[in-house]
Amino acid sequence: GDSWGIFTFLCAALCQLPALPALNCTEELGTSQSIQKTYDLTRYLEHQLRTLAGTYLNYLGPPFNEPDFNPPRLARAERVPSATVDLDLWRGLTDNARLAANYRAYSRLLCYLRALDGQAATADLRHRLGHFCSSLQGLVLSIAGVMSSLGYPLPVGPVGPPTGPPSSLVVAPNDFLKKMDDFWLLKELQTWLWRSAKDFNRLKKKVPPAVVTLRLEARGF
Amino acid sequence: LFLAAPPKEPVLMCRSNNYPKGFYCSWHLPTPTYIPNIFNISVIHGTREMVCEKDAFPKNRCHIRYLQLFSTVKYKVTLTVTNALGKNSTSLTFDEFAIVKPDPPESVVAKPVPSNPRRLEVSWQNPSSWPDPESFPLKFFLRYRPLILDQWQHVELSDGTSHTITDAYAGKEYIIQVAAKDNDIGTWSDWSVAVHATPWTEEPKHLTTEAQLTETTSSSTSSFMPPPTTKICDKGAVVGSGAVAVCWTAGLVVAAYGVLFI
């Protein structure tokens, strides 16, 4: 067993996001503006991540901070839904599925990043991770807002990985494998942010303001 | 009489000008060997070896289709060149997003605007090699200057394939170019073919006032770098209302100077 078993359990228990407060801002913020705002957030986070990842990978040390570092993906359980997807499948996603995939991914990523923050050895890293987590939480809420304004239900259930009895901490974690996990977490996060820009670009095109007004009226808002 | 030689380390380049379809790699030898060479290219993505299909034309080029998008695993391309006297190789490792570079915009047209001596209307088209501008929109960078001056003015456009220049010097012939970039990833294209245009004038060209010219030539030059240079801010810069300015590019400095000119 390793400490990741503990973390996954904790994530499942702690990372239940609060029920979204009723959006009364749909009058002020059209859905297309919410989508734009969410898109802008992903771009901002992607930029922030570059600095954060650079610092964190330097903290992990070589080979993790080498630009050509290209390790094989170890056959460990995928902790975070991967951004990687078949092109036609990605194109064919419904708006709901597209948003839900983003929502689930960032909820999970936020959880793991918070765990990382908890263990970070230096004050500088904790500060950076803390700041990034706040921004990332903003993104999760922003996506939830878009889903809500389009009338889509938020994905239910714990947003952490499947629970199981927590593994015992008898065996000390393998330090190198732990670092690999951190490396892949940051990589997955980076890839999701790249993908989300494309996801929200697509959503922007498909949700013109006029359509949103009609939908709101139909639902008696 | 030439001396046959073993191959030097080849030069390899990979680029995706048709994202998200795939990418191509092209190569050449820095110096000739004067005897036949065989090129062998391999592409590895994670644990999978992919086939890079050689193009009939141009030679020394192959293309590959993406099987998946938004990949976390890098691509490693290795080129080996062999001849009767020896062999050599080189390799590139890159992320899917890093090699995206569109072809320049096509059909750039610049026209004067009747009754408007300071305007020029510029329009262009997406490069035809870019397969899906709907889902993968491009943004554009326009640069223009009167032929008589060395300093370019720049405009970045996140939407649309046309722009009206409103601060042209009356009666002066302008040179105009456009570059393209995926909205979010990769690097700027090369500049498009240059087009020339002169704003509308009521009569045959009259001289611009001395005041206008001295104002231009005495302005301090900003240290602007052309967009095709990859800048960390290019990928992060957000265009649009309510955007958070996360970085300060030299382009913004030039835009500020441009505003002063009007």
Give per-10-residue mean pLDDT for chain B (262 aa): 92 97 96 94 93 91 94 95 96 95 98 95 97 93 97 94 96 97 96 96 64 49 46 39 43 51 52
Domain ranges of chain B: 11-94, 106-197
For residue A77, pLDDT over 90 is answered with: no
Tell me the average pLDDT across A113-119: 85
Chain B residue with CA closest to A81: the answer is B72
For residue A29, pLDDT over 50 is answered with: yes
Q: What is the pLDDT of residues A85-95, one digit of tens each?
A: 998 999 999 99
Distance between B70 CA and the closest CA of chain A, angstroms: 5
Q: Looking at the partner chain, which of A36, A48, A194 has a beta carbon nearest the beta carbon of B97? A: A194
Answer whether B73 sits within 8 Å of A73, measured CB to CB.
Answer: yes
- For residue B244, the chain A residues in CB contact (below 8 A) are 40, 44
- CATH class held by domain A29-160+173-206: mainly alpha
The pLDDT value recorded for residue B204 is 62
Q: How far apart are CA A195 and CA B229, in angstroms?
A: 24
Answer whether A36 sits within 8 Å of B74, measured CB to CB.
Answer: no
Closest CA to A11 of A113, A155, A160: A160
Answer whether B68 sits within 8 Å of A40, measured CB to CB.
Answer: no
Fold for domain B11-94? Immunoglobulin-like (2.60.40)
The pLDDT value recorded for residue A200 is 94
* Residue type, position A192, single letter: W
Comparing A48-62, A121-135, A201-215, B218-232, the range with the smallest average pLDDT is B218-232
Mutate to test the interface with A, among B183, B184, B246 (most CBs of A within 10 A): B184
The pLDDT value recorded for residue A12 is 55
Distance between B66 CA and the closest CA of chain A, angstroms: 8
- CATH class held by domain B106-197: mainly beta
Is this model's pTM higher than 0.95 or not? no
The pLDDT value recorded for residue B193 is 96
**Strand, coil or helix: B261:** helix
The pLDDT value recorded for residue A25 is 45
The pLDDT value recorded for residue B108 is 97
Closest CA to B49 of B57, B38, B41, B37: B41
The pLDDT value recorded for residue A136 is 96
The pLDDT value recorded for residue A207 is 75
Return mean pLDDT, chain A: 78
The per-residue DSSP string of B109-178 comes to EEEEETTEEEEEEEEEE--TT---TTTS-EEEEEEEEETT----EEEEESS-SEEEE--PPTT--EEEEE
Q: How far apart are CA A180 and CA B30, in angstroms?
A: 39
Domain ranges of chain A: 29-160+173-206
Name, in order, each residue with C-beta under 8 angstroms of A137's C-beta and a sequence gap of 6 or more.
A110
Complex ipTM tops 0.90: no
B47 touches chain A (CB under 8 A): yes
Answer whether A83 sits within 8 Å of B70, measured CB to CB.
Answer: yes
For residue A58, pLDDT over 90 is answered with: yes
Name, in order, each residue with C-beta under 8 angstroms of A202's C-beta and a sequence gap of 6 or more.
A98, B135
Residue A70 vs residue B200, higher pLDDT: B200
Same fold, B11-94 and B106-197: yes
Portion 119-138 of B in contact with A at CB < 8 A:
134-137
Residue A91 vs residue A171, higher pLDDT: A91
For residue A217, pLDDT over 50 is answered with: no
Tell me the average pLDDT across A100-121: 90
The strands making up B11-15's β-sheet, listed across from edge to edge, are B11-15, B22-28, B61-65, B53-54
Q: What is the pLDDT of residues A183-208, one digit of tens each?
A: 999 999 999 999 999 999 889 887 76
Q: Looking at the partner chain, which of A37, A82, A201 has a beta carbon nearest the beta carbon of B183? A: A201
Portion 116-175 of A in contact with B at CB < 8 A:
none
The pLDDT value recorded for residue B202 is 86
Rg (CA), chain A: 19
